[in-house]
Amino acid sequence: MSPMTDPPQPELAGRWRAAREPGGVIHLDAAGCARASRATVDACREYLAAESRVGGYVAEIRHSEPLARARTDLARLLGPGLTADDVTFHHSASTAFAALVEAWPLPSGGRIGVVRSEFGSNAMALAARAARDGIELVDLPVDGDGHIDLDALDRVGVTGLNLDLVTFPHIASQRGIIQPAAEVAARAAAAGVPVVLDVAQSLGQVLTTGLGAAAYVGTSRKWLCGPRGVGILAVEPRIVERLIPSSPNLYTATWDGHGLPVPLGGIARMGIGESAAAARIGLAVAVGELLDAGPEAVTTRIAALGRLARRRLDGVAGWQVREPLEEATGIVTLVPPDGVDPHAVRDRLFTDAGILTSAFPTSRAPRDMTGPLLRASPHVYTDVSEIDALADALGSHTRPG
Ligand SMILES: *Cc1c(COP(=O)(O)O)cnc(C)c1O
pLDDT digits (tens, 9 = 90+) for 116-127: 999 999 999 999
Cβ of 118 closer than 6 Å to ligand 1, yes or no, is: no
Please indicate whether residue 3 or residue 232 has the higher confidence score (pLDDT): 232
Given a contact cutoff of 8 angstroms between Cβ atoms, the answer to whether 98 and 91 are in contact is: no
- E strands of 248-348, at which residues? 253-254, 262-263, 320-321, 332-335
Residue type at position 166: V
Cβ of 216 closer than 6 Å to ligand 1, yes or no, is: no
Task: Please give the pLDDT value at position 2.
Answer: 47
From the CA of 198, give the closest atom in ligand 1.
11
Least confident of 22-26, 200-204, 386-390: 22-26
Q: What is the mean pLDDT of the chain?
A: 97
Given a contact cutoff of 8 angstroms between Cβ atoms, the answer to whether 151 and 180 are in contact is: no
CA of 400 to the centre of ligand 1 (A): 30
- E strands of 105-164, at which residues? 111-114, 136-139
Whether residue 238 is predicted with pLDDT greater than 60 in this model: the reply is: yes
Whether residue 23 is predicted with pLDDT greater than 70 in this model: the reply is: yes
From the CA of 169, give the closest atom in ligand 1.
13
Task: Please give the pLDDT value at position 401.
Answer: 76
Dist CA 71 CA 42 (whole Å)? 20
Percent of the chain at pLDDT exceeding 70: 99
Cβ of 92 closer than 6 Å to ligand 1, yes or no, is: yes
From the CA of 32, give the closest atom in ligand 1.
1
From the CA of 171, give the closest atom in ligand 1.
13
Q: What is the pTM assigned to this prediction?
A: 0.97
pLDDT digits (tens, 9 = 90+) for 150-185: 999 999 999 999 999 999 999 999 999 999 999 999
- pLDDT average, residue stretch 307-317: 98
pLDDT digits (tens, 9 = 90+) for 41-67: 999 999 999 999 999 999 999 999 999
Cβ of 174 closer than 6 Å to ligand 1, yes or no, is: no
pLDDT bin (cut points 50, 70, 90) of residue 1 is very low
**Which of 231, 106, 225, 245 shows the shortest CA–CA distance to 164?**
106
CA of 7 to the centre of ligand 1 (A): 27
Cβ of 226 closer than 6 Å to ligand 1, yes or no, is: no
